[in-house]
Amino acid sequence: MTTDNLQDPRDNEIDWDTTDEDTDEEEIDSIRMKWCADGSHTLDEVIEKLKNQIAFIQELKEQGYELIQPMMDDWGHIKKQRNVECHEVSSDQ
């Protein structure tokens, strides 16, 4: 698996580490949250970088990725869950 489809084009500062195995059952990616606001000179820049990070994580979740264990020392290991179904909830229900 490559992470080309996962990397957020808005922010190239995210560290990625992937396994070398190409088996569908063991496709685990690692994400890092540390330093996501590095280089910011103002609080507005920090806010913008954090918003981009949040949007990126939300996209991962929408694609079916979940943490496989709690985040530790700024590392998170994620895996795409199988058979993820998205259901839109109507406000009428």
Q: Taking the mean position of all CA atoms in its chain, how far away is CA 16?
A: 10
pLDDT > 50? residue 51: yes
Give residue 34's domain range.
16-80
Question: Would 89 be classed as within a structural domain?
Answer: no
Interatomic CA distance for residues 80 and 68, integer angstroms: 9
Question: Would 88 be classed as within a structural domain?
Answer: no
C-alpha closest to that of 9 among 47, 59, 71? 59
- Under the banding of pLDDT at 50, 70 and 90, the label for residue 12 is very low
pLDDT > 90? residue 48: yes
Domains held by the chain: number: 1
Q: What share of the chain is helix, strand, coil (3-state, %, to 5)?
A: 25, 20, 55
- Under the banding of pLDDT at 50, 70 and 90, the label for residue 82 is confident
Question: Would 52 be classed as within a structural domain?
Answer: yes
**pTM metric for this prediction:** 0.58
Contact of 40 with 52, CB cutoff 8 Å = no
Per the structure block, which two tokens stand in for 7? Answer: 């990397």
- 1 versus 61: the higher-pLDDT residue is 61
Average pLDDT across the chain, whole number = 75
